[in-house]
Amino acid sequence: MNFQLTEEQEMLRKMIRDFAENDVEPTAAERDEEERFDRAIFDKMAELGLTGIPWPEEYGGIGADFVSYCIAVEELSRVCASTGVTLSAHLSLASWPIYQYGNETQKKTFLHRLATGEALGAYALSEPGSGSDAASMKTIAKKEGNDYILNGNKVWITNGGVADIYIVFAMTDPEAGHKGISAFIVEKGTDGFTFGKKEKKLGIRSSPTTELIFENCRIPQENLLGEEGQGFKIAMSTLDGGRNGIAAQALGIAQGALDAAADYAKEREQFGKPIAANQGISFKLADMATEVEASRLLTYQAAWLESEGQSYGKASAMSKLFAGDAAMRITTEAVQVFGGYGYTKDYPVERYMRDAKITQIYEGTNEIQRLVIGRMLTK
């Protein structure tokens, strides 16, 4: 057993940390305040090869592994969780299903554009009446000649509006329940595809979350991903890896909050000594650091399993569950270590706390992760 990162993974971490601290962190608070997505940051990620980390070079990627991908999301989220989820949704939710289920033409076109960062990706499963119960979706795709006609609404879509390529799930056979769901690759600009409400959110405010509207939207059958009726399997298996991306996001947020709290506890003096000299504070930091490390081990383990071609669905649900809950506890404690200052926008810990909350909700709430893990243990 070897817990050492490889030289390549260490180099990648250093490169991403430099990028995150120099190009992402300086505007993170301002973008959060203004709810502003910055495409230039995504373009810079593309220049660095981050938009195609795990894909082979023939599809525009850099051929690294899934641990490297997690390190990227972690390091970005350590300074800006919105930027972390932009990459996570792009890579594991929009690109992965094309890599896994796409035909050669779809990989050479859509995946290549995503991997090189020419295009930004999004994944559209949720609907107003269908969140945790994803199979109960209402969006319809009706076959007409060589096309499918899409009608319905998707909500909460990360990168919605700014993304160029969307993986959209719709019912091709409503009578068949989850076996009647199919997956489509839909490009921005397609007639009948527009954007609705952009959500105003508690956290990850510089990551746009937007409604998608399909009104008689005509999709060529070449854009069917996998086979008709295979959509729910595609959606679920995509989430197996996506959930570990969210674990990496939670891990990064927690590490950022811990680093900030530890620095502050050494500097801030009360009663004539640094507050870190009180066991009440140093024990808090010790618990936070232990939970960060446990999150990291679970997250890297799930990513390693995926890279090794082993089963990783349960490991991903566990990493997302643990790291998400831990990030919420750790960021709340970080605000506590900062006292009143932590409650203000003068320091980043209130943003970390707001951002952490979403990691318990999206890509399946943590109740759904428990359901997934429980079913796997007892099936």
CB of 3 to ligand CAA, least distance (A): 27
- Whole-number Å distance between alpha carbons of 206 and 145: 41
Measured torsion, CA atoms of residues 295, 351, 130, 195, in degrees rounded to the nearest 10: -130
**Total residue length of the chain:** 379
CB of 368 to ligand CAA, least distance (A): 5
Q: Looking at this protein, which amino acid is placed at residue 101? A: Y
Q: Which residues of this chain interact with ligand FAD, rule CB under 6 A?
A: 89, 123-126, 131-132, 156-158, 201, 204, 209, 358, 361-365, 367-368, 371
* Whether the Cβ atoms of residue 74 and residue 59 lie closer than 8 Å to each other: no
Nearer to ligand FAD, 126 or 230 (CB): 126
Selected catalytic residue, list 7, 118, 363, 367: 363
- Whole-number Å distance between alpha carbons of 141 and 352: 40
* Helix boundaries (H) for 268-365: 279-307, 313-338, 349-358
CB nearest ligand FAD: which residue?
A: 131
118 C-beta neighbours (distance < 10 Å), count: 14
CB of 280 to ligand CAA, least distance (A): 36
Question: Distances from the Cα of 290 to the Cαs of 176, 254, 294, 335, in angstroms?
Answer: 47, 11, 6, 18
For residue 233, the partner it binds in ligand FAD, ligand CAA, none, with Cβ less than 5 to 8 A by kind, is ligand CAA
Q: Which residues of this chain interact with ligand CAA, rule CB under 6 A?
A: 85, 89, 93, 123, 125-126, 132-135, 158, 178, 232-233, 236-237, 239-240, 313, 362-364, 368, 371-372
For residue 232, the partner it binds in ligand FAD, ligand CAA, none, with Cβ less than 5 to 8 A by kind, is ligand CAA
CB of 157 to ligand CAA, least distance (A): 8
Q: Is 363 a catalytic residue?
A: yes
For residue 209, the partner it binds in ligand FAD, ligand CAA, none, with Cβ less than 5 to 8 A by kind, is ligand FAD
Q: Please name which of 378, 332, 322 lies closest in space to residue 355, comparing C-alpha atoms.
A: 332
The catalytic site residues sit at 363
